[in-house]
Amino acid sequence: MKVGFVGLGKLGKDAAEVIAEHYEVSGYDIRRVPNIQISKIEAKLEDCVKGKDIVFIAVPTAHHPDYDGRYATSHLPPRDFDYSIAVNVTKEVDSYVDKNTLIVMISTMLPGTVRREIAPLIQNGRFIYNPYLIAQGTVKWDMHNPEMIMIGTEDGSETGDAKLLADFYQPMLEKETRIEIGTWEEVESMKIFYNTFITAKLCLVNMIQDAAMAIGNMNVDKVTDALKRSTDRIMGPKYMKAGLGDGGGCHPRDNIALRSFAEKHNFGYDLFDAIMKAREEQAHNMAKYFEKIGISKDTPCVILGAGFKPGVDQLEGSPSILVGYYLEKLGYSVTYDKEQLSSGIYGTTAPPVVKPSAYLLGWPEHFHDYPFISGSTVVDPWRLMPLKNGVKVYHYGNTRPSSL
C-alpha cells in the first residue's frame, strides 16, 4: 500500500515514521524536515499524493498566538481555530488524486467543521476524518498503543473505507485496540471533548489544592490519592496529581475554541470558559503565594522548566509560563532558565541569577540537583523536592502543620 503524508511537524513527523515501519510512505512539508525515517520526502505536494492509496493530512488548525494557553485568555472574546491551512491543503490534495485515493484528515476541528468546511472540497478522492490521540514526547508510543482509533464517515457507516482504515492500522498496534466509528460530528466531538475532559479533571484536582491552601491542616495528595482509587464511580488514576495546570498545544486551546462553539450554538452557559478561568485563577493563586510567604518584589523570580511537560521543548500552553505571567502582573521580575527556553533540556544548568532568588519548579524531578543559591526560596507545586540546607522549600498544596 502506498501512502502520502502531508504535514511533518511536531506530531506528523513521528506519526509518519510509525506508518513507514509497515508501509511505503512519501512525505511532504513546506519546511525542511531533518532526519526523518520514511521512504521518501517529496519536494512537491503533487508528487507526495498522486497515485497513493491513502493520503494523510496532518496540518495545523492553529489558534491566534494570544490564545495558546501560556497566557491568560479568559478575558478575550471566544475564537475558533483557523482552518485556512487545512482548507487550502485539502483542496490542493484533492486536485491531484482520483477515486482510488482515500484522503484522511487527522487535524483537530470543532464539531460541524468537517461537514461545513472540509468535506465539500472533496470532489475527486474519497474522504475519512480520523483524528489521533497522540501527544508530544510520546507520539510513537501513542501510535502503537492508542486508547482508541476514531474514524468518522459521512453517515457513520462502519463498512467500506472505515473498515479499510481500521485494517490499515492493525500491523502497528501492540495491543488490542477499540475502534470507534461515527459520523464526522461524532468523531470531531470524541477528539475535542476527550481533551477538554483532561483539562477539567486537572482543574478539579487543582481546586482541591486551592482548598488545602485556604483552610490549612491538609495535604492535597492525601485527598487526591483517595479519590483516584475510587474507580467504581468517578475516575481512573491519571491526571490525579495536583500541581500546575493542563498544558500543551492541544488541551487548553481546545477548551478555548469550545467557548466559541458554546456561544455560536447558544448553549446558555459556557462551561469551557469556566474551565479556562479556573486554570488561570489557579495559576494566579500560585503566583500570589509568593507574596503570602513574604517574597519581596526585589527578589528575582526564576521559573525552572518552561516547557509544557518534562522532556518536551514546546512552550505552547506552558502552565509554568502562565504562573510567570501572573508573577509579572504582581510586580515581580521573572526570568526563565535560558537553556530551558532554547533547547528544552531538563537537567542541571547554571543559574540565570547570582543572588538569592525565588524559584518555581515547573518539573521538580528534573531539578533536585540544581545549584540553588543559599538563602533562596523554592516553591514546589508537585511536593516532590526534598528539603535542602540553606534553601527554604515550600510544598505548595500541603498545609499540614508538620510540613510548614
- Given pLDDT bands bounded at 50, 70 and 90, which one contains residue 370? confident
Categorize the per-residue pLDDT at 343 as very low, low, confident or very high, splitting at 50, 70 and 90.
Answer: very low
Q: Does 344 score more than 90 pLDDT?
A: no
Give the percent of the chain with pLDDT over 90.
70
Q: What is the reported pLDDT for 368?
A: 79
- Looking at per-residue pLDDT, the higher value among 190 and 272 belongs to 190
250 or 373, which is more confident?
373
Residue 342: is its pLDDT beyond 60?
Answer: no
Domains of the chain: 2-183 (3.40.50.720)
Q: How confident is the model at residue 235, as a pLDDT?
A: 84
pLDDT at site 338: 52
Q: What is the mean pLDDT of residues 255-277?
A: 88
Q: Does the pLDDT at position 353 exceed 80?
A: no
pLDDT for the residue numbered 254: 86
User: What pTM did the predictor assign?
Assistant: 0.83
pLDDT top residue among 222 and 315: 222
Q: How confident is the model at residue 267 (pLDDT cuts 50, 70, 90)?
A: confident
- At 233, the pLDDT band (50, 70, 90 cuts) reads confident
pLDDT tops 60 at residue 404: no
Mean pLDDT of 222-239: 91
Band (94; pLDDT cuts 50, 70, 90) = very high
- What is the pLDDT averaged over residues 324-329? 96
More confident residue, 74 or 343: 74
Is the predicted pLDDT of residue 88 greater than 70, yes or no? yes
3-state per-residue secondary structure call for the chain: CEEEEECCCCCHHHHHHHHHCCCEEEEECCCCCCCCCCCEECCCHHHHHCCCCEEEECCCCECCHHHCCCCCCCCCCCCCCECHHHHHHHHHHHHCCCCCCEEEECCCCCCCHHHHHHHHHCCCCEEEECCCCCCCCCHHHHHHCCCEEEEEECCCCCCCHHHHHHHHHHHHCCCCCEEEEEEHHHHHHHHHHHHHHHHHHHHHHHHHHHHHHHHCCCEHHHHHHHHHCCCCCCCCCCCCCCCCCCCCCCHHHHHHHHHHHHHHCCCCCCHHHHHHHHHHHHHHHHHHHHHHCCCCCCCCEEEECCCCCCCCCCCCCCHHHHHHHHHHHCCCCEEECHHHHHHCCCCCCCCCCCCCCEEEECCHHHCCCCCCCCCCEEEECCCCCCCECCEEEEECCECCHHHC
Residue 22 has pLDDT above 70, yes or no: yes
For residues 328-353, average pLDDT: 64
Query: What pLDDT is attached to residue 49?
Result: 98
Residue-wise pLDDT for 187-215, tens only, equals 999 999 999 999 999 999 999 999 999 99
